[in-house]
Amino acid sequence: MATIEDFEKIEISVGTIVDCQPFEKARKPAYKLKIDFGDTLGIKNSSAQITSNYLPNELIGRQVLCVVNLSPRKIADFISEVLVTGVNDENGNVVICSLERPVPNGTKVY
């Protein structure tokens, strides 16, 4: 079982998606995202397999919860720096974790 100390090692922050492009070189359908985390972290890249439930224009301006302290991961020719959190819907497609109201970019989840 995980401890509170284990949970505290994971940094989850709020960011706003500022750009979304199809990721043609990904093995599974995905988008390349640019996410703004404010002055503290700046803009970070992420690859997200969320194409089944979202169109690119629906994601721009949306705030999402991301794990920001994982090691960067190379996917094809792209470096994914943060992990966008989500859950699977009844069809196994990802629904992103987002907020009910806006908060400043970079706000940490506790």
Residue 28 inside a domain? The answer is yes
User: Is residue 106 situated within a structural domain?
Assistant: no
* pLDDT tens digits for range 46-57: 999 999 999 999
Q: What is the CATH number of the domain that holds 89?
A: 2.40.50.140
Which residues are registered as beta bridge partners of 12? 67
Query: Does the residue 110 lie in any domain?
Result: no
**What is the number of domains present in the chain?**
1
101: left (phi over 0), alpha (psi -120 to 50) or beta: beta
Please say if the pLDDT value at position 9 is more than 90. yes
Q: Has residue 103 been placed in a domain?
A: no
pLDDT at 102: 97
What's the pLDDT at 50? 97
Mean pLDDT across 33-37:
98
Asked if residue 108 belongs to a domain, the reply is no
Is this structure's pTM higher than 0.75? yes
Q: Is the predicted pLDDT of residue 60 greater than 90, yes or no?
A: yes
pLDDT at 75 > cutoff 90: yes
With a pLDDT cut of 70, the percent of the chain lying above it is 100
Is 105 among the domain residues?
no
Is residue 2 a contact partner of residue 10, using CB atoms and an 8 Å limit?
no
Confidence check: pLDDT of 110 > 90: no
> Which string of b and e fits 79-109 if b means at least 16 CB within 10 Å?
ebbbbbbbeeeeeeebebeeeeeeeebbbee
21/31 Cα distance (integer angstroms) = 5
Backbone angles phi, psi at 81, to 5 degrees: -100, -25
Q: The domain containing residue 62 runs over which residues?
A: 4-96
Residue 101 pLDDT class (50, 70, 90 cuts): very high
